[in-house]
Amino acid sequence: MVYKDSLKVAQKAKEDASKRLHEAGQAHAELLNQVVPLRVKVMELEDAAKATEAQQKKLEAHCVDREQKLGKTEGELSAKTEAFILLRAENGKLQADVSKLQVEKDFLDKQLATKDSRTEELEKSNKELLEDMANTFEEGFKEALAQATCENSEIDTSNCDPGHQIVEGKVVPLDLGE
């Protein structure tokens, strides 16, 4: 009976162990079912990581290129800024020169206007003097004729005129072409 009881206990232990083994097998099968999708996901993630790594390297190269271009552009901007500053200074100097030249021009314009005014006055004065001289000459000529007629009353002075000259012993009008 001890043997039977022990056999029953062993059988019960065997059934329990089989049951547990069966449960463990099912758990193992469930875990295997979960492992396959997880391995697929791991492979997908590894592929995505490789693609991301390649894209990251490409972006890093692009960033390096952009940094180099930015450095070059900043250098060009700096040079152009310096040139602009120099041109602005030169422009300031030229503006000052223009202002000085404008002042000189205004002064010279005033002098020229004064000179033109003086020239007009001198021309007017010369014209008046020439008219006065012509009138004085004409009056002197008439006075000389009157005196010559008074001294020699039989002299004919009708052909005598300040606008005439003597050519080959005859009184003729002045030839103004000479």
pLDDT at 2 over 80: no
Residue 171 DSSP symbol: E
Quickly tell me which residue has 């990581």 as its tokens. Answer: 49
Supply the pTM of this predicted model. Answer: 0.39
As a whole number of angstroms, the distance between CA 55 and CA 67 comes to 18
Go through 35-73 and write b for each residue having 16 or more CB atoms within 10 A of its CB, e for each that does not.
Answer: eeeeeeeeeeeeeeeeeeeeeeeeeeeeeeeeeeeeeee
Q: Could you tell me if 150 and 159 are in contact, meaning their C-beta atoms sit under 8 angstroms apart?
A: no
User: For residue 115, what pLDDT band results from cuts at 50, 70 and 90?
Assistant: confident
Residue 166 DSSP symbol: E
**Structure-token pair, residue 100:** 């000085």
Please state, for a pLDDT cut of 70, what percent of the chain lies above it: 99
As a whole number of angstroms, the distance between CA 103 and CA 74 comes to 43
User: When comparing pLDDT for 156 and 70, which is higher?
Assistant: 70
CA atoms within 13 A on the CB side of 83: 6
pLDDT at 43: 92
Query: How do residues 137-153 score in pLDDT, each as one tens digit?
Result: 889 988 888 888 888 88
pLDDT at 103: 93
pLDDT at 142: 87
Q: Where are the domains of the chain?
A: 2-139
Count other Cβ atoms within 10 Å, centred on residue 115. 11
Query: How do residues 43-99 score in pLDDT, each as one tens digit?
Result: 999 999 999 999 999 999 999 999 999 999 999 999 999 999 999 999 999 999 999
